[in-house]
């Protein structure tokens, strides 16, 4: 039987959103003086934006990969670190839920510390909701042994053959470069 990777290689380019942001906020909050907090928030702001963008694009990449895998002939999924584990919805969604919750507080923090409005894209928030549904439908992938086991939410479109080829080529580029931004151009293929 053919084998397909659970992770096409995204993992090696990611850092923990939770730990990274907690470290930044710990640094900011160690100061009592508001002006110092504002200064440090402004220093960390570009890094925070990069983390949020990369993690959002990662979830888009996961959906793209799942749609691509589902289009292939039946094969075993290799490297599924969730397989056979006990399903716990909260722990399987911890990073995603943190990202979604953080988006609301980040807008307030940006206004408070920088006097600027920041609005997370509603399109991206909707995509994260689709990913959440995808992860829940598949019970955190604890029973996903083959690509035919994958369940896709009804919100996901079926791409054409040429779009599927573009998805695969782009995913390969992202895996080799770590540039998750390249996935944004493919959003319309599946959403």
Asked if 34 and 113 count as a contact pair (C-beta separation under 8 A), the reply is no
pLDDT higher than threshold 90 for residue 1: no
Query: Does residue 89 register a pLDDT over 90?
Result: yes
Report the C-alpha gap between 40 and 161 in whole angstroms. 48
Q: What is the pLDDT of residue 136?
A: 97
pLDDT of residue 140: 96
Written as six digits, the tokens of 80 are: 């599924």
Q: What is the residue-averaged pLDDT of the chain?
A: 96
pLDDT digits (tens, 9 = 90+) for 98-118: 999 999 889 999 999 999 999
Average pLDDT over residues 122-149: 97
Alpha carbon distance 158, 146 (integer Å): 19
Question: Residue 3 has what DSSP assignment?
Answer: E
pLDDT of 146 reads 97
Share of the chain above pLDDT 70, in %: 100
Would you state the pLDDT for residue 104?
84
What is the secondary structure of 73-97 as a DSSP string? PSEEEE--TTTTSPP-HHHHTHHHH
Encode pLDDT of 17-63 as tens digits.
999 999 999 999 999 999 999 999 999 999 999 999 999 999 999 99
Residue 159 has pLDDT above 90, yes or no: yes
Q: What is the pLDDT of residue 40?
A: 96
pLDDT of residue 114: 95
């Amino acid at each position: 039987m053919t084998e397909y990777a659970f992770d096409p290689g995204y993992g090696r380019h990611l850092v923990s959103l939770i730990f990274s942001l907690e470290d930044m906020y710990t640094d900011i909050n160690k100061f009592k003086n508001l002006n110092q907090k504002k200064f440090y928030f402004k220093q960390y702001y570009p890094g925070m934006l990069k983390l949020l963008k990369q993690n959002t694009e990662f979830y888009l990449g996961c959906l793209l990969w799942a749609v691509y895998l589902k289009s292939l002939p039946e094969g075993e999924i290799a490297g599924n670190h969730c397989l056979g584990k006990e399903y716990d919805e909260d722990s399987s969604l911890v990073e995603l839920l943190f990202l979604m919750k953080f988006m609301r507080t980040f807008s307030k923090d940006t206004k408070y510390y920088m006097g600027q409005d920041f609005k997370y894209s509603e399109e991206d928030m909707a995509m994260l909701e689709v990913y959440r549904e995808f992860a829940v439908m598949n019970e955190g992938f604890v029973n996903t042994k083959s690509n035919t086991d994958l369940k896709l939410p009804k919100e996901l479109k079926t791409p054409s053959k040429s779009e599927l080829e573009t998805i695969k080529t782009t995913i390969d580029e992202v895996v080799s470069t770590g540039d998750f931004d390249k996935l944004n151009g493919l959003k319309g293929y599946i959403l």
